[in-house]
Chain A
Amino acid sequence: MKKQSIDSRSARPKPWYDPRVRALFFQVVSLAVVFWAGWVLIDNTLSNMENRGISTGFGFLDETAGFGIIMHLVPYDATMSYGRTFWVGLTNTLLVSAMGVVAATIIGFVVGVARLSSNWLVAKIALVYIEIIRNIPLLLQIFFWYFAVLASLPAPRQSVEIGGAFFLNNRGLYLPGPVTQEGFGLVWGAVLVAIAAVFGLRSWAKKRQKASGQIFPTVKVSIALLVLLPLIAFLIAGRPLEWDLPALKGFNFGGGISLIPELAALWVALSLYTASFIAEIVRSGILAVSQGQTEASKALGLPNGLTLRLIVIPQAMRVIIPPLTSQYLNLVKNSSLATAIGYPDLVSVFMGTTLNQTGQAVEVVAITMAVYLTISLLISLLMNMYNRAVAIKER
């Protein structure tokens, strides 16, 4: 009788039959083709540009810019380099994006919850807002806010004045600017101490609630701490704060802080537009939480506000956060529409003026695309980390 010997080697097939080896081989080949394609594209572009006498390279970033920018969060004047204009544009984009994200989230959540309200009028108003704002292109809305609102504001010489310190005209909203004097460091220190105290208070109050069930008015006490401690420090230091009041000098207002109408129009348009999408996302998230949760919480006697805050929204966040991330990314990318109204964001300053002055379209567009990609990836990363942190831990 022939004994069939189980050859251990027959369990592992020959390399070209082995599915793992084949998979690996094809993956390596595909990767090589992708890299080779990328190299060919770059090499082709560079050699063509050289043949046609178009200058290449990133040396242009050191040349003098020679043009002015109306709003810059970092110090800038016309004698600085193109590289500096990049930073000016980038900070302006980040500013309007951050302001937009905060405002859109707040408005979106409020409208989304209002849409589900049992009050018929509130729900209908929210519905009308969502349907109108969602369906009109963002560029038109930006133009509307800029030109329609601008047209209704008076000229600088006939500004709307409030208390001699606040001025509103079609060049912007002018506020008195705080100028910190000697001794203001004490106030900053007090603010830091207050923040630390609030965190400490929160964890103490939670422990106390877990142990004895007593609710501590954390929010009210935290607010009091954050306001009173710095205020006391401010008074002790002898009020080290002067105000730089805006005043009409020639054509425009000088001094103080100003909010240019371009920024205001862009911020309002972006926030309202994105908020209408966020409202629908919030609504879908809330509807995704099973009815049983609301009923159980009502059976326990929790009022509507607490039900929403403690039971429904934390569970709804799991459904809300991924589409919310997309809306944030949309907002950041939509801020590039600033070129239409003259707000000096990254696209307008760097991809517009600098590109035109230096003529180096390929490098400038590549840098701008890389920047937007980085910002978007960072936002996704942060939101995903937050998502994992608040995810309900299944047992």
Chain B
Amino acid sequence: MKRMISAAIGMAFVAGALSTTSVLAATTLESVKEKGHLQCGVTSGLPGFSQPDEKGSWTGIDVDTCRAVAAAIFGDAKAVEFTPLTAKERFTALQSGEIDVLSRNTTWTLTRDASLGLNFVGANYYDGQGFLVNKDIGVDDATQLDGATVCIQAGTTTELNLSDYFRAKGMEFKPIVFDTSEQSVQGFAAGRCDVLTSDRSQLAALRSKLSDPNSAKILPNTISKEPLGPVVRQGDDQWFNIVKWVLFLQINAEELGVTMANVDEMLKSDNPNVQRLLGTDGDMGAKLGLPDDFGHAIVKQVGNYGEMYDRNVGPDTALGLERGINALWTNGGILYAPPVR
């Protein structure tokens, strides 16, 4: 009799748990404000983009993008928690609600935009795919790589682009597929493959991890377009607008010459564009659901786009990447943000 009763209670629990109607989901902004911090998905360690230092604090351009969003919402760029994700789990983590925004050097493609229930807010780095080779093998151009063994990271656009490129050129290759970028570097360093392929920014980062970075060189060919940027879930337009306009605001700030150093003086500026940017005029913040001075908080704590770039991946860092196409449209690049008005 006792067994029957406990079995009946167990069944009732199961039935009760399953029959609860779905809880009406709060918007992402509300749940982030309630949590008190932003949950940001990043890589497990890619220099320049998202990497924990020896004290455990995260740095990188993707990390700074998330910090800018946190500064806009809370006024505190440190109100972010980071979730390291591999390439396989990054989209599932975002879809399931485990993270609020995915800032993990993710390439913006049609398939990902349309079939995953996600939206790309823009690109915080325009990249392309390249090849890293050992200087010993005596290759100067990617067209000389017929029959080579190539180390790649699993499940990225890299695999597809590589395949398309070699097929188009009528060349063969042997792919060695690893789970993480560290393992692919280890395989390359062990000599398992002749070539390491990835986005050119990653190649610069991975080369800095080799025991002798000067033994490898990046070939001049760029075989694909890789616009890398943050991703959010579909169905929440307000959150989409927030993350998008945080990025645009940083680009506009650089265009207007507002920097971390002069942002406090710029509060007194008469330039209406600067006034709208920093919130001394207009109600740009309220339209997005953010505090009015969200622009000021972003530039004060994280900096404008140029400062974010130079601090993490710029020519003075270990990656040593020139602005190239990531410069403002007024400087020969393609960074063009819609106006804040």
Interface residues of A (CB under 8 A from B): 26, 29-30, 33, 36-37, 40-41, 44, 48-49, 51-55, 66-70, 78-79, 147, 150-151, 155, 170-171, 249-252, 254, 261-262, 339-342, 344, 348-349, 351-353, 355-359, 361
CB closest residue in chain B, given A171: B149
Q: Evaluate contact between B117 and A49: CB separation under 8 angstroms.
A: yes
Q: Evaluate contact between A170 and B159: CB separation under 8 angstroms.
A: no
Closest Cβ of chain A to B8, distance in Å, is 8
Q: Evaluate contact between B154 and A69: CB separation under 8 angstroms.
A: no
Q: Select A353's contact among B112, B177, B191, B234, beta carbons within 8 Å.
A: B177
Q: Evaluate contact between B177 and A54: CB separation under 8 angstroms.
A: no
Q: Select B14's contact among A37, A250, A340, beta carbons within 8 Å.
A: A37
Contacts of A78 in B (CB 8 A): 163-164, 167
A-B contact pairs, 6 of them (CB 8 A): A66-B159, A66-B160, A170-B190, A340-B183, A341-B183, A352-B155
CB closest residue in chain B, given A63: B111
Closest Cβ of chain B to A275, distance in Å, is 26
- B88 lies within 8 A of chain A by Cβ: yes
The dominant DSSP class at the A interface is helix
Closest 5 CB pairs of A and B: A356-B155, A53-B117, A52-B117, A54-B117, A67-B159
Measured CA separation A286–B91 after assembly (Å): 52
Q: What's the tally of chain B residues with a CB closer than 8 Å to chain A?
A: 52
Q: Evaluate contact between A348 and B154: CB separation under 8 angstroms.
A: yes
Q: Evaluate contact between B87 and A55: CB separation under 8 angstroms.
A: no
Q: Evaluate contact between B115 and A151: CB separation under 8 angstroms.
A: no
Q: Evaluate contact between B18 and A41: CB separation under 8 angstroms.
A: yes
Contacts of A252 in B (CB 8 A): 147-149, 174
Contacts of B322 in A (CB 8 A): none
Residue from the set A44, A49, A68, A348 with the largest chain B CB neighbour count within 10 Å:
A68
Measured CA separation A349–B175 after assembly (Å): 12
Measured CA separation A351–B155 after assembly (Å): 9
Contacts of B87 in A (CB 8 A): 356
Closest Cβ of chain B to A194, distance in Å, is 38
Contacts of A30 in B (CB 8 A): 7, 11
Interface residues of B (CB under 8 A from A): 4, 7, 11, 14-15, 18-19, 22, 87-88, 91-92, 95, 111-112, 115-117, 137, 145-149, 151, 154-156, 159-160, 162-164, 166-167, 173-179, 183, 186-187, 190-192, 194, 233-235
| 8 more CB-based (< 8 A) A-B contacts, given A26-B4, A353-B155 | A36-B18, A54-B95, A67-B160, A67-B162, A68-B163, A262-B176, A342-B178, A356-B91
Measured CA separation A247–B177 after assembly (Å): 24
Q: Select A359's contact among B116, B156, B159, B190, beta carbons within 8 Å.
A: B116
Q: Evaluate contact between B179 and A352: CB separation under 8 angstroms.
A: yes
Contacts of B15 in A (CB 8 A): 33, 36-37
Measured CA separation A359–B194 after assembly (Å): 30
With A55-B115, A170-B192 given, is the CB distance from A353 to B154 under 8 Å? yes
Q: Evaluate contact between B179 and A340: CB separation under 8 angstroms.
A: yes
CB closest residue in chain A, given B134: A155
Contacts of B7 in A (CB 8 A): 26, 30
Measured CA separation A68–B174 after assembly (Å): 7
Contacts of A147 in B (CB 8 A): 186, 190
Q: Select B176's contact among A48, A70, A254, beta carbons within 8 Å.
A: A70
Contacts of A150 in B (CB 8 A): 190-192
Q: Evaluate contact between B155 and A254: CB separation under 8 angstroms.
A: no
Q: Evaluate contact between B95 and A70: CB separation under 8 angstroms.
A: no
Contacts of A51 in B (CB 8 A): 235
Residue from the set A251, A353, A355 with the largest chain B CB neighbour count within 10 Å:
A251
Measured CA separation A355–B88 after assembly (Å): 7
With A252-B148, A356-B154 given, is the CB distance from A170 to B191 under 8 Å? yes
